[in-house]
């Protein structure tokens, strides 16, 4: 008999909910889309309600709640035990008292908010990340890696998935030895905000030279990061705390020693950004890639499994993922599209289902459009309320493609929203991938982002290898690759400074409407690629409702808005 399982991610950032019915995830929503605070820490009640609405049920139809995380373990290992061992950690407990209180009362809070009186299961943070990437991959046998900042005191876990069973083989990666937290620390040191802007540092790294000498020192940037991130060449990773301060206090992140070598923390002002900062970012990114790639080579050697699944926030680092793919270690790679902590809601559902069904095994999922959708009636009601003129073209795809061909910037709002941080063609801002200045126009006048941040190409999947150097499909925009040399000049607005890009391969099986638009654009221009970036502006979550889409169109430099079958134009 099938079960209905509600997955919840709460405590800390990226709160979310997911709903599984009969072993299949049918809905998943992030709370940030409702509260409009990116990486929301609010209890995901709105996300829960929308998941139930999508399924057409109430809480009475839920058999079990599955929670992504173990509150008791998190409280004991992250706060209480370290404070008893080192009095300086008491300051961290005081600093995070409100978080500690929430962790302690997690189950009571869930029942109070949802009114649920049935069973609540709690699952280890990293095990939920592992499950979130393994079960939808379709790989029966896989090496599975969870890697993030910290979760239930652990910072990384390595498992082997075989015929539906997950066997954790390496889990000695305890806080504060965290690749994710070092990345967060450098993000803050360079003037951005942890959790929010690690992707900015990844983009910045491509402008740096990790082999350059640090000013006033006789060692390269990379050599210093070898000292910061100790790695034995096998499976042991240690963070040298002489360089970091996040173990004791989070408002500084790096130690006095780090500042003595690299200089004072940069305040956020683009005028102060220089080559030194780019070199730091490059050394950090290179060290991360070298450590993870070598560890995975060892895992392939030792366990002999041909496929890789990845989850956890660090798995959103598409440059690292691209280097893993290029290394040829695995036959195929699957990265959970919601690899950040929101994905724990999905992972918890999978673990709960597996606990009731020992034969439950991976099934390849093509659907990551798991969020909210609105009917044609709801959309037209929002349009009429806006007072803006709109049409309903008979040939929507050709009409939209023509405007893209003319250089118009199009907000494309279709069907159900994506679950995860990447816009995959349902909540997207689209443009032609040429000329090169199109990237600057969108960064400067539409998204209000830093000049060096790249914009991704979406490509008809049958043309993926014609345009990009990648050995597998890339439907979730999470594996960076190089552009084919003879295609760089055809799609320059999507090519980063190092000739890389974050390609999304689109087929009719995963997004039919977006595929039809790409096809129409190719028929009119000869190019099967569109520039694709998320339908939001800097600092805000991806657009959720028709009303939000209309307001963004009204107030920002967007030329066209397509809401399902309706078209608006300035």
Q: Please give, one letter per residue, the 3-state secondary structure of 532-551.
A: EEECCCCCCCCCCCHHHHHH
Tell whether 291 and 395 lie within a shared domain.
Answer: no
Residues 33 and 10 in one domain: yes
- Tell whether 164 is covered by a domain: no
Residue range of the domain that includes 28: 4-130+338-356
In a domain? residue 502: yes
Q: Tell me, yes or no, whether 108 and 14 share the same domain.
A: yes
**Long-range pairs for 29-36 at CB < 8 Å and ≥24 separation?**
29/370, 29/371, 29/372, 29/417, 29/419, 30/342, 30/371, 30/419, 30/541, 32/541, 33/371, 33/372, 33/417, 33/541, 33/542, 33/544, 34/544, 36/540, 36/541
- For residues 481 and 394, state if they share a domain: yes
Instruction: Examine the domain organization and report whether 475 and 528 are in the same domain.
Output: yes
Residues 39 and 20: beta-carbon distance below 8 Å: no
| Dist. CA 533–CA 353, nearest whole Å | 34
Residue 159 falls inside a structural domain: no
User: Do residues 291 and 312 both lie within one domain?
Assistant: yes
Selection from 541, 338, 372 nearest residue 27 by Cα: 372
Q: Is residue 401 located within the same domain as residue 342? A: no
Distance from the Cα of residue 195 to its chain's centroid? 10
pLDDT in tens, 450-508: 999 999 999 999 999 999 999 999 999 999 999 999 999 999 999 999 999 999 999 99
Tokens representing residue 404 in the block: 């893209």
**141 found inside a domain:** no
Contacts of 79 (CB under 8 A, 6+ apart): 89, 92, 93, 96, 100
Q: Alpha carbon 71 to chain centroid distance?
A: 23
Q: What is the dihedral angle through the alpha carbons of 78, 83, 87, 88, rounded to the nearest 10 degrees?
A: 20
For residues 189 and 316, state if they share a domain.
yes
CATH number of the domain within which 553 lies: 3.90.870.20
* Domain co-membership, 425 together with 495: yes
229 part of a folded domain: yes
Are residues 29 and 16 in contact, defined by beta-carbon separation less than 8 angstroms? yes
Number of domains present in the structure of the chain:
3
Give 265-313 pLDDT, tens digit per residue: 999 888 899 999 999 999 999 999 999 999 999 999 999 999 999 999 9
Same domain, 314 and 413: no
Residue 518 falls inside a structural domain = yes
**Is the domain of 328 the same as that of 342?**
no
DSSP label at residue 266: P
* pLDDT in the model for residue 87: 66
Q: Quick one: pLDDT at residue 89?
A: 66
Q: Is residue 363 part of a domain?
A: no
Residue 124 within any structural domain of the chain:
yes
Say if residue 1's pLDDT is above 60.
Answer: no
Q: Is 80 left (phi over 0), alpha (psi -120 to 50) or beta?
A: alpha
- CA gap 78, 278 in Å, rounded: 33
Q: What is the pLDDT of residues 360-378, one digit of tens each?
A: 999 999 889 999 999 999 9
Are both 202 and 231 inside the same structural domain?
Answer: yes
Q: What is the pLDDT of residues 229-262, one digit of tens each?
A: 999 999 999 999 999 998 876 678 999 999 999 9
Residue 245 sits in a domain of what CATH number? 3.30.420.40
Q: Are 152 and 381 in contact (CB under 8 A)?
A: no
């Amino acid at each position: 008999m099938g079960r209905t399982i509600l997955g919840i991610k709460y405590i800390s950032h990226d709160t979310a909910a997911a709903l599984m019915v009969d072993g299949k995830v049918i809905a998943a929503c992030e709370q940030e889309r409702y509260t409009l605070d990116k990486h929301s820490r609010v209890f995901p009640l709105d996300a829960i309600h929308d998941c139930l609405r999508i399924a057409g049920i109430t809480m009475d139809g839920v058999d079990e709640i599955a929670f992504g995380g173990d509150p008791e373990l998190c409280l004991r290992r992250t706060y209480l035990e370290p404070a008893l061992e080192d009095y300086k950690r008491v300051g961290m407990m005081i600093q995070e008292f409100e978080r500690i209180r929430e962790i302690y009362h997690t189950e009571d809070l869930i029942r109070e908010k949802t009114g649920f009186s049935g069973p609540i299961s709690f699952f280890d943070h990293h095990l939920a990340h592992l499950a979130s990437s393994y079960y939808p991959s379709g790989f029966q046998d896989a090496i599975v890696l969870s890697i993030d900042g910290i979760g239930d005191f652990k910072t990384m876990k390595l498992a082997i998935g075989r015929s539906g069973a997950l066997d954790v083989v390496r889990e000695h990666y305890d806080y504060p030895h965290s690749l994710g937290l070092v990345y967060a620390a450098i993000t803050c040191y360079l003037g951005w905000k942890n959790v929010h802007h690690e992707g900015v540092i990844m983009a910045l790294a491509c402008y740096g030279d990790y082999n350059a000498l640090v000013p006033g020192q006789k060692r390269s940037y990379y050599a210093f990061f070898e000292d910061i991130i100790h790695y034995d060449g096998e499976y042991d990773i240690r963070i040298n705390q002489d360089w970091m301060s996040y173990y004791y206090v989070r408002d500084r992140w790096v130690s006095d020693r780090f500042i003595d070598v690299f200089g004072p923390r940069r305040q956020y002002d683009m005028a102060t950004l220089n080559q030194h900062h780019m070199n730091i970012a490059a050394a950090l990114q290179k060290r991360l890639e070298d450590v993870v790639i070598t560890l995975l080579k060892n895992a392939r050697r030792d366990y002999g499994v041909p496929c890789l699944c990845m989850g956890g926030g660090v798995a959103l680092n598409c440059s690292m993922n691209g280097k893993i793919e290029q290394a040829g270690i695995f036959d195929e790679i699957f990265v959970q599209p919601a690899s950040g902590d929101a994905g724990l809601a999905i992972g918890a559902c999978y673990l709960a289902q597996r606990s009731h069904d020992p034969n439950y095994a991976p099934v390849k999922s093509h659907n990551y459009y798991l969020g909210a959708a609105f009917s044609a009636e709801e959309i037209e009601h929002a349009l009429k309320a806006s007072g803006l003129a709109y049409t309903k073209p008979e040939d929507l795809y050709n009409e939209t493609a023509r405007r893209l061909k003319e250089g118009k910037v199009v907000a494309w709002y279709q069907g159900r929203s994506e679950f995860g941080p990447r816009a995959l063609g349902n909540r997207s801002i689209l443009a032609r991938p040429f000329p090169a200045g199109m990237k600057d126009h969108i960064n400067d006048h539409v998204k209000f982002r830093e000049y060096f941040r790249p914009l991704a190409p979406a490509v008809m999947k049958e043309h993926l290898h014609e345009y990009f150097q990648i050995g597998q499909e890339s439907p979730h925009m999470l594996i960076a690759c190089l552009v084919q040399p003879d295609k760089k000049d055809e799609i320059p607005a999507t090519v980063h400074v190092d000739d890389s890009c974050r390609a999304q391969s689109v087929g009719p099986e995963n997004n039919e409407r977006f595929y039809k638009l790409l096809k129409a654009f190719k028929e009119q221009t000869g190019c099967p690629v569109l520039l694709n970036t998320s339908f939001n502006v800097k600092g805000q979550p991806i657009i959720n409702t028709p009303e939000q889409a209309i307001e963004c169109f009204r107030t920002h430099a967007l030329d066209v808005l397509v809401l399902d079958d309706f078209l608006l134009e300035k």
